[in-house]
Amino acid sequence: MAAVLEWTGDDEEPVPASFPSPQHRVRGRRTPARPGELPPDIEAALWRGNELGSPVTAVLSSGFAGLDAELPGAGWPCHSLTEVLQAQPTVAEWRLLAPAMRLVVARGGNIVVVGPPKSPHLPGLKHAGLDERHLVWIQAEAPAERLWVTEQLVKTNAAGLLVSWLPQARQEQIRRLQVCAQACDGPVFLCRPAAAEHEPSAAPLRVQLRFGLDWELHVHVLKRKGPTHEGDITLSSVPGGLESIITPRLLKPSHIIAARQARDGQPHVVGSPAPRQAPVRRVTAH
């Protein structure tokens, strides 16, 4: 005769003796979760829109504490695209990315740049702490060439950090690159014009970059995994070749311009010729 075990829950159905073992017996039903409550493992993996990104994604520090604080995961994302938008190319992106490049080179990785509008300035890169032996420069002229080379590099995971200038990339092309970048261990940066701000993009992270009068960089996060970013992040970024020789007075050009405006009594636009002084007429007494 088969033995019968008593079920201690709310149901009255008997449980057969072939139940696995005593330690597996269910002593009553689990109390249902409160509305909105999730199991701990699911709660840990859940991301909410008002939170700043997910720490699961691998990141590379930007080298700027203020910027890392505003980036999901506290750094440039790997396995993903990042768009850097600015009004004029090759003006500030090297200064923004140089600290991250140093980290890659220190680990033995290579920096690959595709289609920069201007030739990389090797002495300046040395002052920034970059070894030219770890720099691969691919000069692709046509937009289709730059796009093809970028895609092949991303697919083959051939760079510790990749920077590509793609001003004419279309929405579907960026989406394709983003899909490919998910298998790329290093961060991938696409440098694009500021006008692309109003175009849709599959890149999970987009930043707008401007430079200031006092050698600083202004970064505004246009798109990120998290709440909307308000205002600009100001980053101190004096070029490496000038930092050790520049005078304290020239560290603040804005103060010089303001003093000139106060002296001349009229505003002065940066980049325009200085206001001409009225000629001094000498009068000789007879």
Dihedral-angle region of residue 105 (phi above 0 means left; psi in -120 to 50 means alpha; beta otherwise): alpha
What are 198's two structure tokens?
A: 């109003």
- Higher local confidence (pLDDT), 242 or 130: 130
State the residue for tokens 């006092």: 214
> Which residues 6+ apart lie within 8 Å of 242 measured at CB?
none
pLDDT in tens, 129-169: 888 899 999 999 899 999 999 999 999 999 999 999 999 99
pLDDT in tens, 95-110: 999 999 999 999 999 9
State the residue for tokens 């694009």: 192
- Per-residue pLDDT at 43: 62
- Per-residue pLDDT at 26: 44
Measure the CA–CA gap between 179 and 154, rounded to whole angstroms: 10
User: Among 224-228, 255-259, 270-274, whose mean pLDDT is lowest?
Assistant: 270-274
Q: Is the CA virtual torsion 191, 194, 199, 202 positive or negative?
A: positive
Helical axes 143-155 vs 171-181, angle rounded to 10°: 20
Half-sphere exposure of 53 (CA within 13 A, CB side): 21
